[in-house]
Amino acid sequence: MSSKKLKNENELVKKAIELGVKYGEARGVVEFEPTDSSSEKILYIYRLLVHDNVIQPLPEDQVSQKSMRHKLAIWASKQ
């Protein structure tokens, strides 16, 4: 399965991080630090959304920074 890059994927990833941070903090499960890298946030948000059954998990052997970014961008595009 090849994931087609979304037209504005980078903007959607930024939106997903923003939404994911709010989501995680609203649930009281995480407090992000300004020093957290976007890749750390992406991993955490991806795992949290999968855990909460908000998004479908990727097959474990396909989990990568790129695939998680894509998955979160698709999620953000539907918000």
pLDDT tens-digit readout, 17-51: 999 999 999 999 999 999 999 999 999 999 999 99
Give me 66's structure tokens.
């790129």
Give the count of beta carbons closer than 10 Å to the beta carbon of residue 41: 21
Contact predicate 6/12, CB 8 Å? yes
How buried is 69 (Cβ within 10 angstroms: 0-12 exposed, 13-18 middle, 19+ buried)?
A: buried
Give me 24's structure tokens.
């995680």
* Per-residue pLDDT band at 3 (split at 50, 70, 90): low
